[in-house]
Structure formats: structure tokens, C-alpha cells
Amino acid sequence: MVIVLEKNVADKQIENIIKHLEDFGFAVHKSTGVEQIVLGAIGVKPDFDTRNVKIIDGVAEVYRITEPYKLASRSFQKENTVITIKGIPIGGNEVMMMAGPCSIESEEQIFTLAEIVAKSGAKILRGGAFKPRTSPYAFQGMGEEGLKLIRKAADAYNLIVITEVMENAQIDLIGKYTDIYQVGARNMQNFSLLKELGKTNIPIMLKRGLSATIEEWLMSAEYILSNGNRQIMLCERGIRTFETATRNTFDLSAIPVLQKKSHLPVVADPSHATGLRDKVLPMARAAVAAGADALMVEVHHQPEKALSDGPQALLPEQFMELMRQIRLIAEVIGRKIA
Ligand code: PEP
Ligand code: MN
């Protein structure tokens, strides 16, 4: 930690600051510049709250040097994590596509969409059976019936399944049907859920919280990692900003930022990030160009009848066109789409 002292700091105050730091267990190194004094507090304390120092008289600024997360960091693991699920690698050179409806709605619906997803060359079928809806009166998902249908449809078309888990009580049930647990944006800081998922050995896709910083997001990943499950991917799905033209604001630069800070695979979800069908294709292209390891998009053959997120669902022909275009983009950066 680096502590910059105020310009007119008194010797007594400096002594007091150093004493505080030593009491916290840091070794202190003092460096006197032309205008200001800087203290280096040496010692790795991931849980140390820098505000403890910021409030001491005479302190101007405090900067943390080590990250508060460990297992998720690039400094802990240099090589990219590659998660292999039934022979499908996520985090390797191939960019994986996850596609399907927002919600599983019926057997006919999920089978139709599974066929479209398989035909496109994508390997992962998405669909929610337990839905985190803003309104309690909105469709809440088909529950276990939906899990059975997505599993059956995925098996029929040789796809793997990703579906959302919303609470601890659903972990075992969903684990019987899914290949990847999705933790939704609204649950990114449900620490009790993260800890329990950390004790499973099923891969997890952790979506970014609606207003979460990248550091908070990585701390959430740390909850899962530190409980034993190392198979985590991070999904950027847009954040809440002052802009209202799109449902959320797609934080494209989160992709390279995460890849520098962490070894975990990065997924981009342009469907929830924009909330509008016609914005999904350009943002999918951008996400692949920016280096995403996988994409998640919502597709529906009758979006006007969809029980959730119809306005952002791609029509099947738009999805096929998206696949065609991102294949070209991937090639330019030496990757392939699967
Ligand atoms: C979803 O994937 O359908 C979903 C609800 O996503 P998010 O948690 O990103 O809103
Ligand atoms: Mn959705």
C-alpha cells in the first residue's frame, strides 16, 4: 500500500501515521520527495480496509498495490483457465457460442430452438427454468419441468446445457440436469449461494452484477474459487449507467480488463447488455473482436410470443447471420467459432 501524506504534514502526525501502520502489522518505508512525503506500507493483507489509513490525520491518498482477490488473479495463475465440459473447451482458442431462449416455455419451443442452435454449429444450449423477474407477476419459469425439457432437447441435438440457479435450495435439483450453472446478475453478490456453488464440481458462469465494479465481480468469483470450485467463467452482460438508449450499457472494455487481471474465461452477453434485437449483432461482433472466449445470445423463433425478453431475442435467420459474421471476425484474430 502506498500512502501519500498531505503537503503541510507535521512531524508528529507522520510519527502517528507510521505508528498506526506498524500496529496494523505493516513494515513502513518512508520516502521524502521535493513536495510531499510518501510512505510504503509493506505486507500482504488481502482483507485490509484502506479506509483505516485514509482517515488518519495527515494522510492525503492511499493506494492499494496488491489485489484483494488471489485465486482469481493473473498473478496467482499465469496461464488461462480452460474449462472442458464433455469435450468442449471454454477459454481456449475456440470462441464458444451459447444460444437459446431466455426461458424454456414448452417442449415444442425448446426442441425447435435446440435444432436451430445445433444447426448453427454452436455447442451450448441456454434456457432458464427459474427466472429472476423484476415483477413477481411476470412468468417465473417452468421449474423442474423446464429442466427436464432442456436436458432432453440438448441430448437430442448433442448440445451441453447452461441454466440459471437462483438459490441454495435449487443447487442439487439443477445439478441433476445442467452442465453449467448460471449465476445471474441479480445474484452476483449472493455470497451464501456462491459459497455453496463453490462446493460443487459443476462449472459456473458468473454474470456481472447490475452495478458491480470489476473488482467486486472478481471478489465474487473468489468466493466460489476459495470454496474449491475452480471452473468459473465471467460473463459481461451490461451495467446500469445514466444512458437509457439501451437496456444496459455494454462494458466492452471489461473483456480486456478482465483478461489482464484474471486467468478465468470471459463470456459476453450482448442480448442482456443491449436489450434490443437490432443491437445484438454489432455488439457480438465487437465482443469477439475484443477477445471474448464465449458469447451468450438469446434466440427465439416466435419472439413476439416469448414469455420473457422477446424484444432482445434474435430471429433464427438473424442468429445464423450473426454466426456467419463472427466466424469472419474470429478468423482475423486467429480464433475459431464453435
Ligand atoms: C438471463 O440470462 O436470462 C438473465 C436473466 O440474465 P441476467 O442475470 O444477466 O439479467
Ligand atoms: Mn433473458
Label residues 255-265 b or e (16+ Cβ within 10 Å = b).
beebbebbbbb
CA of residue 184 to ligand 1 center, whole Å: 5
Identify which ligand lies nearest to the alpha carbon of 132: 1
Residues 286 and 154 in one domain: yes
What's the Cα-to-Cα distance from 306 to each of 300, 313, 314, rounded to whole Å?
7, 9, 11
Ligand 1 site, CB within 6 A: 102, 128, 132, 184-186, 207, 237, 272
Strand partners of residue 63? 2
pLDDT at 46 over 90: no
Write down the pLDDT at residue 45: 84
Query: In the prediction, which pLDDT does 29 show?
Result: 93
Distance 131 CA to ligand 1 centre (A): 8
Distance 313 CA to ligand 2 centre (A): 8
CA distance 278 to 238: 16
Distance, CA of 256 to chain centre: 13
pTM of the model: 0.93
DSSP string computed for 57-117: TTEEEEE--S-S--TTBTTT--SPP-EEETTEEESSSEEEEEEE-SB---HHHHHHHHHHH
Q: How buried is 139 (Cβ within 10 angstroms: 0-12 exposed, 13-18 middle, 19+ buried)?
A: middle
Ligand closest to Cα of 129 equals 1
Going by alpha carbons, the residue nearest to atom 8 of ligand 1 is 184
Written as nine digits, the cell of 10 is 507535521
Clarify whether residues 321 and 177 are in a common domain: yes
Can you state the percent helix, strand and coil of the chain, rounding each to 5? Answer: 35, 20, 40
Looking at the predicted structure, is the pLDDT value of residue 25 above 90?
yes
* Same-domain check for residues 221 and 138: yes
Q: Which of 66-70, 121-125, 177-181, 297-301 has the lowest mean pLDDT?
A: 66-70
Residue whose CA lies nearest to ligand 1 atom number 6:
184
Neighbours of 275 (CB within 10 A): 17
Angle between helix axes 316-332 and 107-119 (nearest 10 degrees) is 30
Whether 70 maps to a domain, the answer reads no
Please tell me the number of Cα atoms within 13 Å of 136 on its side-chain side: 0
Identify which of 130, 139, 272 to mutate to test ligand 1's pocket (most ligand atoms within 8 A of the CB): 272
Q: What is the residue with the minimal CA distance to atom 9 of ligand 1? A: 185
Residues 6 or more apart whose CB falls under 8 angstroms from that of 78 comprise 263
- Quick one: 189 and 57 in the same domain? no
What does each C-alpha distance from 140 to 129, 275, 317 come to in angstroms?
Answer: 8, 19, 28
8-state DSSP, 186 = G
Residue 197 lies in a domain: yes
Q: Is residue 261 part of a domain?
A: yes
CB atoms inside a 10 Å sphere around CB 106: 13
pLDDT band for position 47 (cuts 50, 70, 90): confident
What residues have CB less than 8 Å from 302, skipping those under 6 apart? 109
Residue 18's domain comprises 2-63
- Tell whether 179 and 322 lie within a shared domain: yes
pLDDT of 66 > 90? The answer is no
307 with 182, same domain: the answer is: yes
Mean pLDDT of the chain: 97
Distance from residue 31's CA to the centre of ligand 2 (Å): 53
pLDDT band at 199 (very low <50, low <70, confident <90, very high): very high
Same domain assignment for residues 126 and 58? no
Q: Is there a domain that residue 109 lies in?
A: yes
Q: Which three cell numbers stand for residue 50?
A: 484502506
Condensed to tens digits (0 to 9), the pLDDT of residues 112-147 reads 999 999 999 999 999 999 999 999 999 999 999 999
- CB atoms near residue 163 (< 10 Å): 26
Distance 185 CA to ligand 1 centre (A): 6
CATH of the domain at 57: 3.30.70.1140
Instruction: Output the pLDDT for position 221.
Output: 98
pLDDT at 165 exceeding the cut of 90 = yes
Are residues 205 and 56 both part of a single domain? Answer: no
For residue 235, the ligand 1 atom closest to its alpha carbon is 9
Q: Which atom of ligand 1 approaches the CA of 308 most closely? A: 3
172 and 116 share one domain: yes
Each residue of 81-106: pLDDT tens digit?
A: 999 999 999 999 999 999 999 999 99
- C-beta separation of 78 from 85 below 8 A: no
Contacts of 177 (CB under 8 A, 6+ apart): 147, 148, 150, 151, 161, 163
pLDDT, tens digit (0-9, with 9 covering 90-100), for 246-276: 999 999 999 999 999 999 999 999 999 999 9
Distance between CA atoms of residues 214 and 254, nearest Å: 7
Q: For residue 76, tell me if it sits in a domain.
A: no
Question: Distance (Å, rounded) from C-alpha 241 to C-alpha 290?
Answer: 21
Atom of ligand 1 nearest to the CA of 207: 9
Residue 316 is predicted with a pLDDT of 98
* Residue 283 alpha carbon to ligand 1 centre in Å: 17
Pairing mode, strands 59-63 and 94-100: unpaired
Q: How confident is the model at residue 67 (pLDDT cuts 50, 70, 90)?
A: confident
In percent, how much of the chain has pLDDT > 90? 96
Whether the CB-CB separation of 297 and 337 falls below 8 Å is answered with: no
**How far, in Å, is the centroid of ligand 2 from the Cα of 106?**
16
- Averaged pLDDT, 188-200: 98
Domain for residue 74, yes or no? no
Domain edge (last residue) among 31, 63, 95: 63
98 & 205 share domain = yes
Residue with CA nearest ligand 1 atom 10: 185
Q: Whose CA is nearest to atom 4 of ligand 1?
A: 184
| Whether residue 183 is found in the same domain as residue 57 | no
Same domain as 93, residue 54: no
CA of 290 to the centre of ligand 2 (A): 23
**What is 301-333 written as a DSSP string?**
SSGGG-SS-GGGPBPHHHHHHHHHHHHHHHHHT
Angle of helix 214-225 versus helix 254-261 axis, rounded to 10: 50
**Atom number of ligand 1 nearest to Cα 296:** 2
Give the chain's domain count. 2
